[in-house]
Structure 1
Amino acid sequence: MKRIIVPIDFSVYSENALKSAAYLAKKYDAEILAVHMLELSNAIVSRSESYAQEETLFLYKLAENRFNEFLDKSYLEGLSITPIIKHFKIFSEIDQLAREEKADLIVMGSQGSSGIKELIIGSNTEKVIRYAHIPVLVVKDVPIEASFKKVVFACDFSDDDLTAYQDVKNFCQSMDCELNLVYVTTPNGRFKSTEEITQKLSKFINKAHESIELLENVKIIADYSVEEGVLYYANTVHADAIVLATHGRKGIAHFFEGSITEDIANHSQLPVMTFKI
């Protein structure tokens, strides 16, 4: 891990993300790319009038000064910090920046959302998860300032999840933490019997080139939804974080189908880390 991106909006949640990124940067000797996204309208930026250009420059300098003050923290001493300001609040730009800078991780603070606000606009966290091609670590009320001891990884144990599983396994080895695997079965059209689930897990373990003994460490949870099952199990085993695989659906498909990963990241009080399938 060499570069960590942290979106900054000057809230307490983005500071929690920054503290978490600082801990990881010290552990992995990584650089932090702190990104603030201005909410300037395209009309202001593109206008040719001198006063419009002056207004844009003024707002940019104002944000730059506040940004520098925000980054003046003792826990960042000795770390390599690169501040970056983007003109627009377009969350696909975070992924574009990650590609350009060859970043390895995005650490993002989130308050989460619920009810009508979540239905209409979703959260910034969901948008970043949806677009990012690299892992996203979502931090809530408490910053990460120590290594995880126990991590829960939930997935469908399909072939699509094999790469994500290997990535999660490597991450846990680097963090020296215990990896707990969970499969959630629900009473819907995709319901599977215990035998069917066992066969599916066995095939996955074989394709992952793991010992069949790993099957004994996979917890099967029955619940009314995958989200409820994952959160229940994570709380039961006192996990420090939840790790999930995501397809990153966008557009109309996402609106109608939703995303279990985004919902868990939005509602969980534990840190949530996502790996793109």
Structure 2
Amino acid sequence: MKILVPTDFSELSEKALEVADKFANLMDGTVTPFHSHIPISEMDEPYALGMSSQMYQDFDKIEEALSDRLSQLAEEKVDKRRLEKPIVMMGNPAQSIVDASEEYDYIVMSTHGRTGFSRFLLGSVVEKVLRLAHTPVLIVEDESDVDDFKKILVTTDFSDNAASAYPYAKAIAEKTGADLDLIHIISFDQFDEEEEGSISITSIREKRIKLLEKEYFHSLKGDVNSMVIVSQDSPHEAIFNHVKDNDYNLIVMATVGRTGINYLMMGSTTANLVRHVNTAVLSVNPKRDKQ
């Protein structure tokens, strides 16, 4: 298993290296530290003032210096036996991460960067990676308590897209002996006006989630539970409220749900959840047609 860990050298982003080390140890994997450097642009002050920017643009020296710094940081957080040579790329951070991740099994990254923005303003890099990367992305927060991934939450809407996340949850639970909860959210707006319709929908989906539990997770050694939650809230709010009352080490979910429409237009359940929870979130983006 190959794990890519983007960092910007901030203290907050170091959390990703710590979690990646633990994850690699559990899953018998390797950790590759990664940094994307944005070169001086035409809008930078020295260039704008007519000064030569050549001294700022010696990419070989920059790459060597960043690589040394990345190695030093990673060696403080990751077991050297599992540590691979760092990667430094030039260009847009989000796109660089997505491009590099094609050769990896997981991306582990922190929601916070060196800007120190709140998670509500985190926006660009993490959310672009969540949207664009085919590689599963494990998002960790500074307060995330992954422990040994002993309690896992998996969300489902019964779609094929949602099912793409199940094997990842199962693989981790098999390695750690974790207890696993499988949940489905029903919003009130899915109900008919008559009460009988509400009871019928809930009953049907409770039976359906039990079948999913048996089909995908019956072989796990830990406790496996499935439940349907009826809520007035949006899906991410309902999941957040459930997580608030239960101590999970990991949430596993797909980025695209039953609608199958583009992630940009689907309501961003995963991105909204990442903004709000302290729990680590493993986001699985169903493979899209490369054509």
Q: In structure 1, what residue type is equivalent to 2:172?
A: F
1:73 aligns with 2:86: no
Cα gap change, 1:54 to 1:269, in 2 (>3 Å): closer
- Residues of 2 paired with 1:264 and 1:73: CA distance? 30
Q: Deviations over 1:187-209 (max 9, x none)?
A: 44x44724224324534654776
TM-score by length of 2: 0.76
SS at match of 2:165: helix
Aligned partner of 2:23 in structure 1 is 24
Which sits farther off after the overlay, 14-23 or 144-153? 144-153
Which sits farther off after the overlay, 35-44 or 220-229? 35-44
Query: After the TM superposition, which residues 46-195 of structure 1 pair with which residues of structure 2 at under 5 Å, given as runs?
Result: 51=54, 55-73=58-76, 75-99=78-102, 101=103, 103-111=104-112, 113=118, 117=121, 122-142=123-143, 146-188=147-189, 190-191=190-191, 193-195=198-200
User: Which of the two has greater helix per residue?
Assistant: 1
Cα gap change, 1:151 to 1:263, in 2 (>3 Å): same
SS at match of 2:241: helix
Q: In structure 2, what residue type is equivalent to 1:195?
A: S
- Residues of 2 paired with 1:180 and 1:5: CA distance? 27
Question: What is the deviation of 1:240?
Answer: 1.9
Aligned partner of 1:40 in structure 2 is 39
Aligned partner of 1:8 in structure 2 is 7
Indicate if the aligned counterparts of 1:104 and 1:135 stay in contact, CA closer than 8 A: yes
TM-score by length of 1: 0.80
Question: What is the deviation of 1:36?
Answer: 0.3
SS at match of 1:73: helix
1:196 aligns with 2:232: no
Q: Deviations over 1:71-95 (max 9, x none)?
A: 2316433223220001012423323
Indicate if the aligned counterparts of 1:221 and 1:233 stay in contact, CA closer than 8 A: no
Q: Deviations over 1:156-186 (max 9, x none)?
A: 1223322322332233222211111122222
Q: In structure 2, what residue type is equivalent to 1:184?
A: I
Q: In structure 2, what residue type is equivalent to 1:270?
A: T
Q: Any gaps of 5 or more consecutive residues in structure 2?
A: 44-51, 193-197, 287-291
- Residues of 1 paired with 2:99 and 2:41: CA distance? 19
Q: In structure 2, what residue type is equivalent to 1:259?
A: S
Q: In structure 1, what residue type is equivalent to 2:239?
A: V
Aligned partner of 1:271 in structure 2 is 280
SS at match of 1:141: coil
Q: Any gaps of 5 or more consecutive residues in structure 1?
A: none
Question: What is the deviation of 1:17?
Answer: 0.5
- Residues of 2 paired with 1:81 and 1:105: CA distance? 14
Aligned partner of 1:242 in structure 2 is 251
- Residues of 1 paired with 2:83 and 2:243: CA distance? 34
- Residues of 1 paired with 2:119 and 2:74: CA distance? 30
Aligned partner of 2:268 in structure 1 is 259
Question: What is the deviation of 1:65?
Answer: 3.3
Indicate if the aligned counterparts of 1:159 and 1:204 stay in contact, CA closer than 8 A: no
Q: In structure 1, what residue type is equivalent to 2:64?
A: K
Cα gap change, 1:274 to 1:194, in 2 (>3 Å): farther
Question: What is the deviation of 1:22?
Answer: 0.8
RMSD: 3.3
